[in-house]
Amino acid sequence: MKVLLLGAGRSKRMKPITDKNFLNFLGEPLIEHQLKLIKNAGLDEVVIVGGKHNLEELNLCGKHLGMEVSVVEQKDLDAGMCGAILAAKNKIGSESVLIFSSNDVVEKSAFESVINAFEKDDAEGYLLGKVVHEYFPGGYLEISENGFIKNIIEKPEQGKEPSNLVNLVVHVHKDFAKLVSYLEKAKSDSDDLYEVALANMINDGIKMKAVKYDGFWQPIKFPWHVNKVFKFFFDNAKKIIAKSAQISKNAVIKGDVIIGENVKILEGAVVNGPVYIGDNSIIATNALVRESNIGKNCVIGFSTEVARSFLGDDVWTHSNYIGDSVIGNNVSFGAGTVTGNLRLDEGEISVNSDDKKTPTGENKLGMITGDNIRIGINNSFMPGVKIGSDTFIGAGLVIAENIPEKSFVRGEIKLKISENKVDISKIDRGEMKKKIK
Cα–Cα distance measured from residue 247 to residue 241, given in angstroms and rounded to the nearest whole number: 10
Label residue 435 by pLDDT band (50, 70, 90).
confident
Q: What would the mean pLDDT of 60-78 be, rounded to a whole number?
A: 90
**Has residue 294 got a pLDDT over 90?**
yes
Q: Are 188 and 83 in contact (CB under 8 A)?
A: no
Cα–Cα distance measured from residue 263 to residue 398, given in angstroms and rounded to the nearest whole number: 33
Structural domain boundaries in the chain:
2-221, 240-409
**Has residue 413 got a pLDDT over 90?**
no
Q: What would the mean pLDDT of 410-422 be, rounded to a whole number?
A: 89
Strands annotated E in 285-425: 288-294, 299-300, 305-307, 310-311, 315-317, 321-323, 326-327, 331-333, 338-339, 350-353, 356-359, 368-369, 373-375, 380-381, 386-387, 391-393, 398-399, 408-409
DSSP state of 297: T
Cα–Cα distance measured from residue 163 to residue 141, given in angstroms and rounded to the nearest whole number: 6
Cα–Cα distance measured from residue 391 to residue 385, given in angstroms and rounded to the nearest whole number: 14
Label residue 432 by pLDDT band (50, 70, 90).
confident
Q: Dihedral sign for Cα 44, 50, 54, 59, please.
A: positive
The secondary structure element, H or E, covering residue 49 is strand 45-50
pLDDT, tens digit, 9 for 90 and up, residues 120-156: 878 999 999 999 999 998 899 999 988 899 999 988 9
**Has residue 275 got a pLDDT over 90?**
yes
Nearest C-alpha neighbor of 252 from the set 237, 231, 267 = 267
CA distances (Å), origin 219, targets 130, 227, 364: 12, 12, 19
Percent of all residues in the chain with a pLDDT value above 90, rounded to a whole number: 85
CA distances (Å), origin 85, targets 3, 59, 388, 389, 424: 11, 18, 32, 32, 75
Beta bridge partners of 246: 264
The secondary structure element, H or E, covering residue 177 is helix 176-185
Beta bridge partners of 48: 5, 71
pLDDT, tens digit, 9 for 90 and up, residues 332-348: 999 999 999 999 999 99
Beta bridge partners of 306: 289, 322
Label residue 115 by pLDDT band (50, 70, 90).
very high
pLDDT, tens digit, 9 for 90 and up, residues 196-253: 999 999 999 999 999 999 999 999 999 999 999 999 999 999 999 999 999 999 999 9
Q: How many CB atoms lie within 10 A of CB 136?
A: 15
pLDDT, tens digit, 9 for 90 and up, residues 202-216: 999 999 999 999 999
Per the prediction, the chain carries an average pLDDT of: 94
Q: Give the contacts of 18 (CB within 8 A, at least 6 positions apart).
A: 11, 370, 371, 389
Nearest C-alpha neighbor of 92 from the set 7, 181, 3, 5 = 3
Q: What would the mean pLDDT of 160-164 be, rounded to a whole number?
A: 94
Cα–Cα distance measured from residue 404 to residue 330, given in angstroms and rounded to the nearest whole number: 17
Nearest C-alpha neighbor of 354 from the set 174, 242, 222 = 222
| pTM of the shown model | 0.91
pLDDT, tens digit, 9 for 90 and up, residues 296-328: 999 999 999 999 999 999 999 999 999 999 999
Cα–Cα distance measured from residue 202 to residue 146, given in angstroms and rounded to the nearest whole number: 15
Beta bridge partners of 99: 4, 171
The secondary structure element, H or E, covering residue 183 is helix 176-185
Percent of all residues in the chain with a pLDDT value above 70, rounded to a whole number: 100
Q: Which amino acid is at 226?
A: V
pLDDT of residue 433: 74
Q: Are 25 and 17 in contact (CB under 8 A)?
A: no
**Has residue 436 got a pLDDT over 80?**
no
Domain 2-221 adopts which CATH fold? Spore Coat Polysaccharide Biosynthesis Protein SpsA; Chain A (3.90.550)
Cα–Cα distance measured from residue 153 to residue 167, given in angstroms and rounded to the nearest whole number: 9
Q: Dihedral sign for Cα 335, 337, 338, 344, please.
A: positive
pLDDT of residue 191: 67
Domain 240-409 adopts which CATH fold? UDP N-Acetylglucosamine Acyltransferase; domain 1 (2.160.10)
Cα–Cα distance measured from residue 214 to residue 403, given in angstroms and rounded to the nearest whole number: 40
**Pairwise pLDDT comparison (10 vs 116), residue with the higher score:** 116
